[in-house]
Amino acid sequence: MGSKKKNVVVTSDPLALIAEKTNKDDEKKKDMSRVKCYNCKKEGHFAKDYKKAKVKDYKYYKTKILLAKKDKDEQVLLAEDQAWME
């Protein structure tokens, strides 16, 4: 059921053992071209590797402010009225 053949290297040369180890490490690396970042939606890196600060968009903050004002004043404020900016 999909057993992997393990190569056994018998040598007294420590450099040969190091070379064998690095070849195995290269095989374990992921194909980063298929990885997609959740922050910027671009391919090639993870979100944890993304250097720009996480910033929510304007629409998110506008909605959040309108909901906070609604809870405070117990009235619905529409974005078109621009009453929440005064």
The answer to whether the beta carbons of residues 39 and 47 sit under 8 Å apart is: yes
pTM listed for this prediction? 0.27
The pLDDT tens digits of the residues spanning 73-85 come to 665 556 565 555 5
The pLDDT tens digits of the residues spanning 15-69 come to 666 666 565 555 556 677 788 887 788 888 877 777 766 666 788 888 888 888 7
Which helix or strand (DSSP H or E) is residue 22 part of? helix 14-28
State how far the alpha carbon of 12 is from the alpha carbons of 17, 18, 47, in Å.
9, 12, 43
Residues with Cβ within 8 Å of residue 50, at least 6 apart in sequence: 37, 39, 40
